[in-house]
Amino acid sequence: MLNISLIQVQYLIALDEHRNFIKAAEASFVTQPTLSMQIKKLEEELGVMLFDRTKHPIEPTRIGERIIKQAKIIYQETAHIENILKEFTGEISGTLKIGVIPTISNSLIPRLIGQISKSYPELKLHIHEMLTHEIIEDLDANHLDVGIVSTPLHNEALIERPLYLEKFRIYLHPDHPAYKKTALDVEDLTEDKLWLLTEGNCFRTQSLNLCSLSEQSLNQLALRYESGSLQTLKKIVDQEGGATIIPEWEAGELDDSSLNNVRALRSDAAGREVGLVFTKYYAKDGVISKLEEMIKRSLPNYIAENKDLEIIEM
């Protein structure tokens, strides 16, 4: 029977992350000789080399990759013991690392932070604004506990909990040809400049899918677009004309003067789904449930009441 300690598992994961003995030791708060000795003992116990030390930075061997993958599962599973005890006593504490995409964070996070700080002062929040693919990567690497993204992701390694549905809104300049309309058709968006987020943002892809536009057709139509945040795109519309597509909640947060420039689509039956995502090995079920409850309490009524929308996927 193998004799492997949890500390060796931790050092193994740290070395895989940093690919450098000194940096891995610093991240683990031990000396480099201590970490090196434990990795060496682990390799001797297993009878295989876990890292190719001839490469710079070092790389896991083929068998090392498989063992590291299993080590991460072992380490995540051990967290269940502590969290079972916390859930038994009703304690919500520790650190919660959240990744959230930019088109959600501006509306949700200010409301969420206040709720958590009042209800669970012992729970420390680390919130990072990231793109969807970055959140997926950091969940897999155990750098994040949970992501708040546009779902579904169709990723078998992740558990999804849908939170709410959100429609699309058009923010347009008063000189836009369709400005006098109370509701817009998708075709109206091709009559002037259309400003979109940069590639890599899921909301950009959803916007193109909503309009049935490919990147190629976008260029052929000579529509003008820019990268940046939704707030930046709104300012570009204000200064340069045209239109951009924004989430319904983002539109609802605008001041009265800007709200006059917002239009719904005529059908108004399409939108995006927003949900929580986390790995199958995440242990803090109680924390996830509380987070889900607080997010749903944060929703404006016009968002909470959305039902049966056609989901525009990425």
Catalogue the E-assigned strands of the chain: 51-52, 59-60, 94-100, 123-129, 146-151, 158-172, 183-184, 194-195, 243-247, 262-265, 270-279, 310-311
Whether the predicted pLDDT of 149 surpasses 80: yes
Of the candidates 118, 224, 111, 235, the residue with the CA atom closest to the CA atom of residue 127: 111
The model's confidence at residue 122, banded by pLDDT at 50, 70 and 90, is: confident
Q: Mark 278-312 as b/e (b = at least 16 C-beta within 10 Å).
A: bbebbbbebbbebbbebbeebbeeebeeeeebeeb
Mean pLDDT of 229-257: 90
Would you say the pTM of this structure is higher than 0.75?
A: no
Whether the predicted pLDDT of 215 surpasses 80: no
Domains in the chain, start-ordered, CATH in brackets? 6-86 (1.10.10.10), 92-164+271-311 (3.40.190.10), 166-269 (3.40.190.10)
For the chain, the average pLDDT equals 86
How many angstroms separate the CA atoms of 229 and 291, rounded?
A: 26
How many angstroms separate the CA atoms of 185 and 173, rounded?
A: 16
